[in-house]
Chain A
Amino acid sequence: MHKIDPIRPSFRLEVLTAGQIQQIQAATLHILERVGVHFPSQRALQVFAEHGAQVDWEGQVVRMVPELVMGALSHAPRSYVLSGRAAGTELILDGTASYFGTDGCGTLTLDFETGEQRRSCKDDVARMARVSDYLSSVSFYWPMVSAQDFGRLAPLHELDAAFSNTVKHVQSETVMGEKPAQYAVRMAEAIAGDRERMRARPPFSVLVCTIAPLGQDPEGIEASMVYAEAGIPVGFMAMPNMGATAPAVPGGALTVGNAEVVSAMVLMQLVAPGAPVFYSLLASVMDPRTADYIVAIPEKYLCNTAAVQLAHDWGVPVLAGAFGMDTAEPATWQIGRDHVYTALMVPLAGADLVTGGGMLKASTLLVPEQIIYDDEIYHTHRVLVQGIDTGADGLALDVIAAVGPRGHYLTQEHTRQHLRKIWIPGLTQPRPPLDGSPLPDIRERARAELDRILAQHEPEPLDGAIRTELQAILDAAARELGV
């Protein structure tokens, strides 16, 4: 079985025309030049000032002319490779495939044994890493919940649990701040072997969230400069909430989010020209009656898909979002509807990376068996977007002639071979139990599959010396940063 099985679409979806992309890009450049973005970091402001940006030191706002933006982004690579720590785990971000990963980083878990909702812990991160190591729908692992049993060092312990329990690429959205980032880089170096190998085939990448509207997070920006200098790929995710932190129109939300992400990517290229970066934008809508956050809504699906086109127009890979919808109940009509839109539209638009599998309640709650449902939707889409083979074997003209009118195809060798190649959804089309007992309910089946994976799948263990080194790094971090 393949460790990872990316989606390779044979047809494409575009929600923005080329003209519309130009309109949004022009609007974004206008915002960057005239309105500016808040960068609450002395180092970042310094870098911008040195490169000719207009810096408002008191307000910590940076304004940059289009020439600065386009010049900086011209150094950003469109294609590069992310890697796991074993052969067959490379993610080649060249626009031909979509690699999906898990969701994160929640704070609540439905307990694996009791099913009771509780605060998340490091063991949850480890267990889900093992499940993700098994599932070919998961190409990269986001620690899904916070290792809350490790206090201030939780983010580094999430990395430790991830590296120890999956050979796949690990991406973090929690290791922020200059010092913790330096420890994370050391951990990635330990996994890769040395700094050069880490740069060539990074086993670790980072996603930093911007702050809408038009702002950056100080810890995130400090960390991102450390990562960019070390060669760790770093992405920026804008999350415009239409009506609250962004205009209540998709075009405006895209423009605000675009400006946040682009300004941060410019900073990376000024700090470390050629640093691998990626783009991410997930929109949502404010509930007009409660101010809650609605993620399962058409405007979000549209913006997420448009964001893929915008990223590629800037010439960088993109991390899109799928799954992880509002409701806390798996196996419902609602979750099925919501998960299908997101998980189908973004790969069809050509998203390089897609996050989101396995979480519910707007990515805050880990429901352990949810990843089994998402895996099935993923593979449904993987097959769906392959399209239709109209070559000789795909048309099967000889076989049609051999069977003729009124026959059947069951005894054809062609049938025998090709029927076996058809992916049969295991959750919705299960094999009947061998002992003739009634088929369990779909929730029981999903749970049984999760339990089977946890009981049987042993990821390739980390080398003993690397394990020791990771522990030494965690101990050093505890001494310096406190616990």
Chain B
Amino acid sequence: MSEEILAKLAQAVIDGEPEDAEGLARQALAGGLDPLRCINEGLTPGIDRVGELFATGEYFLPDLIIGGDAMKAALAVLEPALTGDQERKVLGRVVLGTVEGDLHEIGKTLVGTMLTANGFEVTDIGIDRPAAEFVSAVKETGATLVGASALLTTTMLHQQEVIEALREAGLREQVKVMVGGAPVTESWAAKIGADGYAEDAISAVDLAKRLAGAG
């Protein structure tokens, strides 16, 4: 029974079925399964497989995102059930958002999905977020990585404000900051004192792993 449900959890992630994944997670808990085991032996192998299928070109971005959504739906059930000493193993905690004045969402969401699929715990604070919200999210989650997205030449200036706000809050030593978005370049990242720049969601994963000392 337990092996079967773990395999089904993995398959729900691979197939991109958030409702199935959530239902299976509830069923697993009701059946007395260890939530950590469900994550490590069900969801994680599932999302790893999604990552592989994407890397080999078989899966497209929607498959990847829907797979990530399925994982998130199951995690929302399983994580609150973890006991005190249990903790999901993650490569790092990331706070991700689009800066103030900028309503662009898709690129940031893709980066979040890719990071989640690769073992990071992502807190997506959304779009049009002032620097102060990045700071408070870092405080709440204990994140060690911040991703700030900007799609306009006029809003990319706010990426610098995020870095300054983190410094003023005394958090700059604790976190690495990565920036991205269509107008952003390597040299802009260097100019504003960011720790890294990635051109797309796939290279953002490599960058995050490097910054987290995991890749």
Return the chain B residue nearest A413 by Cβ: B66
B105 near A408 (CB under 8 angstroms)?
yes
Return the chain A residue nearest B61 by Cβ: A410
Stretch at the interface among B52-60, B117-125, B134-142, B183-191: B52-60
B60 near A411 (CB under 8 angstroms)?
no
Return the chain A residue nearest B56 by Cβ: A434
B62 near A410 (CB under 8 angstroms)?
yes
Question: Which residues of chain A (390-419) have a CB below 8 Å from chain B?
Answer: 406, 408, 410-413, 415-416, 419
B56 near A416 (CB under 8 angstroms)?
no
Residue among A406, A410, A420, A431 making CB contact with B65, cutoff 8 Å = A410
Q: How far is the CA of A410 from the CA of B66 in the complex (A)?
A: 8
Knowing A434-B55, A434-B56, the reply to whether A406 touches B103 (Cβ < 8 A) is yes
- Output the least CB separation between A58 and chain B (Å): 70
Sorted nearest first, the 3 A-B pairs with minimum C-beta distance are A416-B62, A431-B57, A408-B106
B-side contacts of A410, CB under 8 Å: 61-62, 65, 106, 109-110
B62 near A408 (CB under 8 angstroms)?
no
A-side contacts of B60, CB under 8 Å: 416, 419-420
Q: Can you report 7 A-B residue pairs in the complex whose CB atoms are below 8 A from each other?
A: A410-B62, A411-B69, A413-B66, A415-B62, A416-B60, A419-B62, A420-B60
Size range of the interface on B?
Answer: 10 to 19
Tell me whether B195 is interfacial, beta carbon within 8 Å. Answer: no
Knowing A408-B105, A411-B69, the reply to whether A416 touches B57 (Cβ < 8 A) is no
Q: How far is the CA of A431 from the CA of B56 in the complex (A)?
A: 9
A408 near B109 (CB under 8 angstroms)?
yes
Question: Which residues of chain B (10-69) have a CB below 8 Å from chain A?
Answer: 16, 55-57, 60-63, 65-66, 69
Size range of the interface on A?
Answer: 10 to 19
Q: When each residue 57-85 of chain B gets 1 if its CB lies under 8 Å from chain A and 0 otherwise, what string results? A: 10011110110010000000000000000
A412 near B62 (CB under 8 angstroms)?
yes
Return the chain B residue nearest A436 by Cβ: B206
Residue among B66, B105, B106, B110 making CB contact with A416, cutoff 8 Å = B66
Q: How far is the CA of A431 from the CA of B55 in the complex (A)?
A: 9
- Output the least CB separation between B5 and chain A (Å): 25
Residue among A406, A416, A431, A434 making CB contact with B63, cutoff 8 Å = A416
Q: How far is the CA of A431 from the CA of B58 in the complex (A)?
A: 10
Q: How far is the CA of A434 from the CA of B63 in the complex (A)?
A: 19
B-side contacts of A413, CB under 8 Å: 66
- Output the least CB separation between A193 and chain B (Å): 41
A-side contacts of B57, CB under 8 Å: 431
Taking A408-B109, A410-B61 as known contacts, 7 extra A-B pairs with beta carbons closer than 8 A to each other, sorted by chain A number, are: A410-B109, A411-B62, A413-B66, A416-B16, A416-B66, A419-B60, A434-B55
B65 near A411 (CB under 8 angstroms)?
yes
- Output the least CB separation between B153 and chain A (Å): 21
Q: How far is the CA of A83 from the CA of B143 in the complex (A)?
A: 66
Q: How far is the CA of A419 from the CA of B110 in the complex (A)?
A: 16
Question: Which residues of chain B (90-149) have a CB below 8 Å from chain A?
Answer: 103, 105-106, 109-110
Q: How far is the CA of A90 from the CA of B141 in the complex (A)?
A: 64
Q: How far is the CA of A33 from the CA of B41 in the complex (A)?
A: 86
- Output the least CB separation between A435 and chain B (Å): 11
- Output the least CB separation between A151 and chain B (Å): 48
Q: How far is the CA of A412 from the CA of B57 in the complex (A)?
A: 20
Q: How far is the CA of A301 from the CA of B26 in the complex (A)?
A: 66
- Output the least CB separation between A11 and chain B (Å): 29
B-side contacts of A408, CB under 8 Å: 105-106, 109
A411 near B106 (CB under 8 angstroms)?
no
- Output the least CB separation between B61 and chain A (Å): 6
Knowing A419-B60, A420-B60, the reply to whether A411 touches B66 (Cβ < 8 A) is yes
B-side contacts of A419, CB under 8 Å: 60-62
- Output the least CB separation between B129 and chain A (Å): 15
A-side contacts of B56, CB under 8 Å: 434
A-side contacts of B16, CB under 8 Å: 416
B-side contacts of A434, CB under 8 Å: 55-56
- Output the least CB separation between A413 and chain B (Å): 8
A-side contacts of B69, CB under 8 Å: 411
Q: When each residue 414-438 of chain A gets 1 if its CB lies under 8 Å from chain B and 0 otherwise, what string results? A: 0110011000000000010010000
B-side contacts of A416, CB under 8 Å: 16, 60, 62-63, 66
B-side contacts of A412, CB under 8 Å: 62
A-side contacts of B109, CB under 8 Å: 408, 410
Quick one: which of B55, B66, B69, B109 has the most chain A CB within 10 A?
Answer: B66
Return the chain A residue nearest B16 by Cβ: A416
Return the chain B residue nearest A407 by Cβ: B105
B-side contacts of A415, CB under 8 Å: 62
Return the chain B residue nearest A416 by Cβ: B62
- Output the least CB separation between A430 and chain B (Å): 10
Q: How far is the CA of A410 from the CA of B103 in the complex (A)?
A: 17
Q: How far is the CA of A301 from the CA of B99 in the complex (A)?
A: 53
Quick one: which of A410, A413, A419, A431 has the most chain B CB within 10 A?
Answer: A410
A-side contacts of B106, CB under 8 Å: 408, 410
- Output the least CB separation between A421 and chain B (Å): 11
- Output the least CB separation between B58 and chain A (Å): 10
Q: How far is the CA of A444 from the CA of B110 in the complex (A)?
A: 31
A-side contacts of B66, CB under 8 Å: 411, 413, 416
A-side contacts of B103, CB under 8 Å: 406
B-side contacts of A420, CB under 8 Å: 60
Return the chain A residue nearest B66 by Cβ: A411
Q: How far is the CA of A412 from the CA of B109 in the complex (A)?
A: 14
- Output the least CB separation between A396 and chain B (Å): 14
Q: How far is the CA of A413 from the CA of B16 in the complex (A)?
A: 10
A-side contacts of B105, CB under 8 Å: 406, 408
- Output the least CB separation between B148 and chain A (Å): 19
A-side contacts of B61, CB under 8 Å: 410, 419
Q: How far is the CA of A419 from the CA of B61 in the complex (A)?
A: 9
A-side contacts of B65, CB under 8 Å: 410-411
- Output the least CB separation between B207 and chain A (Å): 13
